[in-house]
Amino acid sequence: MPQPIQITELPVQDAHNLASTGAGTLIDIREPFEWESGSAAGAQRIQMSTLPARYFELPKDQPVLLICASGNRSRMATQFLSELGYDARSVSGGTAAWAAAQLPMDA
């Protein structure tokens, strides 16, 4: 029986550091109405429901940092991408934690 994939959780500051230096790709998987209320600066949007059809758009040569509202959906997306061989990481606490840490946001 295969071993379960260990989900990597990444603190928001670490995710910001990777994304802002180009060492990681930040993907916001929230729904459109959530995205409209603001997002982590520099995040690309691939909502959770379209990820199975669009995952091939993601880079395999650097970490993919997944962010949602609070961290639940990003953990599921991290599991999915990890099983496909991606270096996927869930941003702990999601955009709520990102905003609370006063990290840059896009309107």
Catalytic positions are 68
Residue 54 near residue 77, CB atoms below 8 Å: no
Q: How far is 43 from 19, CA to CA, in rounded Å? A: 8
* CA nearest to 26, candidates 94, 100, 84, 85: 94
The residue type of 74 is: S
Q: Whole-angstrom Cα distance, residue 102 to residue 61?
A: 29
